C-alpha cells in the first residue's frame, strides 16, 4: 500500500524530513519542489478540471536518478505520478489520489539521428516539437504530430500512445516506437533502445509500456522510427454545405488513392469561435456548415491530384489550397486552436471517441441532436481526426449534475456503433469506469495481472486507468 504524501503535513504517513532529505540526496535541493508557488502548475491538469492537493515535485535528470527516486518512494511507501508536459486530457498527469509528481522534463538526452536506420533515441522529457526539429535538421521526419507539440513530451506521448494529425499515414505512437527504457517499481531498469527492425525475442515490452499511462513504470528514454519527409506538400481547406456531405467526402477522398497525411473535420460553430477568439481572417467570406482540412504529401507534385479528387465532391461550396509552409500553417491554425478556444469558455465536458469511419457523420449529427434536445442550455463543439474515425466531442454550459448522464448517453452511442470510448487521449481518471464495458472482464483481469506483476505495491498512479477493484 502507498501513502499519500502532503508536503505540508507532518503525520501520519512518511516522515516529511526523512523522505524529502532522501530525495534531496538523489537530485539535490533545487530539484525537490514543495513551495505551492512553484509546484502549482504541476498540480493542475491542462483542462483545469483535475486539481491535486499540495504535493512534492521531484525532477531527476538521468535514468539513474529516476531509479533512485523510485526506490526512495518505494521505501517510504509514497505513490508516484510520472508527469511530462502535463498536456494530458484525461486527468492522469496530476497526483489526485496522493503521492508525488516525478517530472521527466529534465530527461533531455537527444542522440544524433541515425539516418541510415531511420532511428532517433531521445530522453522522455524532450518535447515533441524539439524532437521534430532535431529530426528535420538531419533530413528526416517523425510521423506523430499534435497541437500540443511544444509542451507534450515524447515520454508522455508514448505513455498515452498519442495519435494526432497523421495517424492515417503513420499510425499511432505505438506504430512508431521501436525501443524503450523504463524504470520499474523496484528501481530496476528495462533498457531496450537498440531499435532493431527485426527482433523477435518474446514479449513486446515497448508496446506494453506504450499506452500504460504511467501505471507500470517511468519511461526515461525511447527510440522512434523516422522517415524521409516528402518534398511536395499541400493543404486543402474544403467548405461543405452539411456535416453529412463533409463526412461522406472523407470516404471519397480516402478511396481516391491520394497520398493523404491528414483529414480533419471542423464544424461551422467551432470555426467561427476560432475566428472570433483569435481574430483570424475569414477564409471564404462567409461561414459554412462543415469543413475538412486535408494534407497530402508525396515525392512528386500533389496539388493537381488533390484538386481533381476534390472537384467531384458532393456538397462542396468552396476550397482554399496552400502549398508552402507559412500558408499551410495558417490554414492549420483554424483546426489546432479548437482545444484552446473551447477551454477558454470554461472547462468543457471532453470526450475523445472513435467510430467506424463510415459512421462519423451519423454519430456527429445524432450527438448534436441528442445533447441539444436534452440540455438546451449546453453547446456542443465537435472536431476531430475524421480520416481515422476519431471525433472530439466537447460540451460547454452543462451543470455539474448533468455531465455524467450526458457523457453516458454519448458513450453508449459510441459503443452501440462498435466504436471506442477513448480514441487517443487514454483512460486516465476520466474514463476508467468505462474500461470494463469497453474491454470486457477478461481483458481487465489481464490488465490487473500485468499491473500486479510489475507494480505489486501499487506505487505507480493509484486511481488511474484501472477501474476500482470490485
Ligand X SMILES: Cc1cc2nc3c(=O)[nH]c(=O)nc-3n(C[C@H](O)[C@H](O)[C@H](O)COP(=O)(O)OP(=O)(O)OC[C@H]3O[C@@H](n4cnc5c(N)ncnc54)[C@H](O)[C@@H]3O)c2cc1C
Q: Which residues bind ligand X (CB under 6 A)?
A: 46, 81-89, 92-93, 104, 124, 146-148, 152-153, 155-157, 159-160, 162-164, 213-214, 218-219, 339-340, 424-425, 461, 464
* Residue closer to ligand X (CB basis): 344 or 456: 344
* Residue closer to ligand X (CB basis): 144 or 410: 144
Cα–Cα–Cα angle for 67, 156, 168, rounded to 5 degrees = 140
In the complex, the smallest distance separating the C-beta of residue 154 from ligand X, rounded to whole angstroms, is 8
In the complex, the smallest distance separating the C-beta of residue 124 from ligand X, rounded to whole angstroms, is 4
Cis ω for the linkage preceding 12 (within 30 of 0): yes
In the complex, the smallest distance separating the C-beta of residue 246 from ligand X, rounded to whole angstroms, is 19
In the complex, the smallest distance separating the C-beta of residue 93 from ligand X, rounded to whole angstroms, is 4
Q: Are 260 and 387 in contact (CB under 8 A)?
A: yes
* Residue closer to ligand X (CB basis): 14 or 147: 147
Euclidean distance between CA atoms 420 and 423, whole angstroms: 6
In the complex, the smallest distance separating the C-beta of residue 100 from ligand X, rounded to whole angstroms, is 12
In the complex, the smallest distance separating the C-beta of residue 298 from ligand X, rounded to whole angstroms, is 23
* Residue closer to ligand X (CB basis): 92 or 419: 92
Burial 367-377 (b: 16+ CB within 10 A, else e): bbeebeeebee
Burial class for 225, CB neighbours closer than 10 Å (0-12, 13-18, 19+): buried
Q: Are 266 and 341 in contact (CB under 8 A)?
A: no
Q: Hey, is 215 helix, strand or coil? A: coil
Euclidean distance between CA atoms 84 and 57, whole angstroms: 12
Q: Is 301 left (phi over 0), alpha (psi -120 to 50) or beta?
A: beta
Q: Supply 68's cell numbers.
A: 533512485
In the complex, the smallest distance separating the C-beta of residue 26 from ligand X, rounded to whole angstroms, is 17
Element (H or E) spanning 21, and its range? helix 16-27
- Provide CB contacts within 8 A for 80, sequence distance 6+: 70, 73, 99, 100, 102, 214, 218, 459, 460, 461
Q: Cell match 455524467: residue?
A: 404
* Residue closer to ligand X (CB basis): 23 or 152: 152
Question: CB neighbours (10 Å) of residue 385?
Answer: 25
* Residue closer to ligand X (CB basis): 264 or 288: 264
Euclidean distance between CA atoms 355 and 413, whole angstroms: 10
In the complex, the smallest distance separating the C-beta of residue 307 from ligand X, rounded to whole angstroms, is 27
* Residue closer to ligand X (CB basis): 48 or 139: 48
Q: Which position's Cβ is nearest ligand X?
A: 156
Euclidean distance between CA atoms 406 and 78, whole angstroms: 36
* Residue closer to ligand X (CB basis): 34 or 215: 215
Euclidean distance between CA atoms 247 and 384, whole angstroms: 11
* Residue closer to ligand X (CB basis): 310 or 454: 454
In the complex, the smallest distance separating the C-beta of residue 111 from ligand X, rounded to whole angstroms, is 17
* Residue closer to ligand X (CB basis): 58 or 302: 58
Strands 390-396 and 290-298, sheet pairing: unpaired
In the complex, the smallest distance separating the C-beta of residue 428 from ligand X, rounded to whole angstroms, is 6
Euclidean distance between CA atoms 175 and 153, whole angstroms: 17
Amino acid at each position: 500500500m502507498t501513502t499519500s504524501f502532503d508536503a505540508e503535513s507532518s503525520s501520519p504517513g512518511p516522515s516529511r524530513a526523512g523522505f524529502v532529505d532522501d530525495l534531496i540526496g538523489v537530485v539535490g535541493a533545487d530539484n525537490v519542489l514543495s513551495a505551492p508557488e512553484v509546484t502549482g502548475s504541476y498540480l493542475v491538469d491542462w483542462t483545469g478540471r483535475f486539481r491535486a492537493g499540495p504535493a512534492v515535485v521531484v525532477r531527476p535528470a538521468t535514468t539513474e536518478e529516476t531509479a533512485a527516486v523510485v526506490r526512495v518512494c518505494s521505501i517510504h511507501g509514497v505513490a508516484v505520478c510520472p508527469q511530462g508536459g502535463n498536456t494530458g486530457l484525461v486527468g492522469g498527469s496530476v497526483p489526485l489520489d496522493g503521492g508525488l509528481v516525478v517530472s521527466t522534463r529534465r530527461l533531455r538526452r537527444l542522440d544524433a539521428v541515425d539516418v541510415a536506420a531511420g532511428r532517433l533515441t531521445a530522453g522522455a522529457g524532450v518535447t515533441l516539437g524539439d524532437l521534430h526539429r532535431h529530426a528535420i535538421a538531419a533530413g528526416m521526419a517523425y510521423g506523430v504530430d499534435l497541437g500540443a507539440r511544444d509542451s507534450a513530451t515524447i515520454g508522455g506521448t508514448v505513455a498515452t500512445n498519442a495519435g494526432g494529425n497523421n495517424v492515417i499515414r503513420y499510425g499511432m505512437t505505438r506504430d512508431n516506437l521501436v525501443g524503450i527504457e523504463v524504470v520499474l517499481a523496484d528501481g530496476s531498469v528495462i533498457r531496450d533502445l537498440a531499435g532493431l527492425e527485426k527482433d523477435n525475442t518474446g514479449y513486446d515490452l515497448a508496446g506494453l509500456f506504450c499506452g500504460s499511462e504511467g501505471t507500470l513504470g517511468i519511461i526515461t528514454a525511447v527510440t522512434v522510427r523516422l522517415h524521409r519527409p516528402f518534398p511536395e506538400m499541400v493543404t486543402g481547406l474544403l467548405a461543405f454545405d452539411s456535416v453529412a456531405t463533409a463526412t461522406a467526402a472523407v470516404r471519397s477522398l480516402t478511396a481516391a488513392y491520394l497520398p493523404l497525411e491528414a483529414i480533419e473535420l471542423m464544424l461551422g460553430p467551432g470555426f467561427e469561435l476560432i475566428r472570433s477568439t483569435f481574430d483570424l481572417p475569414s477564409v471564404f467570406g462567409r461561414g459554412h456548415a462543415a469543413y475538412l482540412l486535408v494534407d497530402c504529401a508525396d515525392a512528386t507534385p500533389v496539388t493537381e491530384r488533390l484538386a481533381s479528387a476534390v472537384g467531384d465532391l458532393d456538397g462542396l461550396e468552396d476550397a482554399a489550397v496552400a502549398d508552402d509552409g507559412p500558408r499551410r500553417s495558417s490554414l492549420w491554425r483554424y483546426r489546432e486552436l479548437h482545444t484552446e478556444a473551447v477551454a477558454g469558455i470554461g472547462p468543457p465536458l471532453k470526450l475523445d471517441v472513435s467510430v467506424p469511419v463510415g459512421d462519423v457523420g451519423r454519430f456527429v449529427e445524432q450527438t448534436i441532436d441528442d445533447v441539444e434536445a436534452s440540455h438546451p442550455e449546453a453547446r456542443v463543439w465537435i472536431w476531430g481526426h475524421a480520416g481515422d474515425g476519431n471525433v472530439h466531442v466537447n460540451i460547454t454550459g452543462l451543470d455539474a449534475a448533468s455531465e455524467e448522464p450526458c457523457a453516458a448517453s454519448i458513450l453508449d452511442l459510441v459503443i452501440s456503433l462498435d466504436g471506442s470510448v477513448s480514441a487517443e487521449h487514454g483512460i486516465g481518471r476520466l474514463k476508467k469506469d468505462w474500461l470494463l464495458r469497453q474491454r470486457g472482464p477478461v481483458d481487465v483481469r489481464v490488465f490487473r495481472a500485468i499491473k500486479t506483476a510489475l507494480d505489486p505495491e501499487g506505487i505507480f498512479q493509484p486511481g488511474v486507468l484501472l477501474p476500482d477493484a470490485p
